[in-house]
Amino acid sequence: MSRIGKNPVEIPDGVTVDVAGKVVTAKGKLGELSIILTDDVEIGMDNKLITVKPTNNTMFARKMWGTSRSIIENMVSGVSKGFSRNLEIQGVGYRAQVQGKDLILQLGFSHEVRFPVPQGIKIECSDQTHISVTGPDKQRVGQTASEIRSFRPPEPYKGKGIRYEGEYVIRKEGKKK
């Protein structure tokens, strides 16, 4: 039995959730998200609670039970509170800034890296070395932060590069004479 799947999802005030067959739509102050779920789970709605149950006892249905419940919970909390991922830039001359709908990164290459901001995602630079990626969709926020980090991941010798806030980079010893 899924320990995650058996817990109901609470709907906070200001969020409306519509269940039409296998399509679940959540609307809130930060936007609207929807997803089409598999036929192996069944969604029920009572007052301010959403419950997910498997339709049969197959292995796939039991896997999708907890997964579907987590996706619905992320949708509901995303349209009400939103998700955020913070990045730090370390390295001499490395910096970032937002110009229009592009994030411009100077990361020690001969050219600057232009990253177009995806639809539904907001990127802010509080200063030249901190980037904040926010939005209602948890998957897209994480994917965008991962793509930005992939331009110059932290290297183990000097620790230079783009890292997640609070990420620990294991340092290696350099060459010996």
Report pLDDT digits (tens) over 24-38. Answer: 999 999 989 999 999
Q: Which long-range contacts (CB under 8 A, 24 or more apart) does 40-46 make?
A: 40/64, 41/65, 41/68, 43/19, 43/68, 43/72, 45/17, 45/19
Report pLDDT digits (tens) over 40-50. Answer: 999 998 888 99
Domain count, the chain: 2
Instruction: Calculate the CA 29 to chain-centre distance.
Output: 18
Confidence of residue 2 (pLDDT cuts 50, 70, 90): low
Query: Does the pLDDT of residue 132 top 90, yes or no?
Result: yes
Question: Same domain for 140 and 71?
Answer: no
pLDDT on residue 6: 86
177 lies in some domain: no
What pTM does this model have?
Answer: 0.87
pLDDT on residue 4: 84
Domain CATH code at residue 159: 3.90.930.12
CA proximity to 131, closest of 156, 147, 148: 148
CA dist 127 to 10, 68, 98, 132, 173, Å? Answer: 37, 38, 10, 10, 31
Q: Which of 25, 59, 80 is the last residue of a domain?
A: 80
Question: Same domain for 156 and 88?
Answer: yes
Question: Same domain for 87 and 158?
Answer: yes
Report pLDDT digits (tens) over 158-175. Answer: 989 999 999 999 999 988
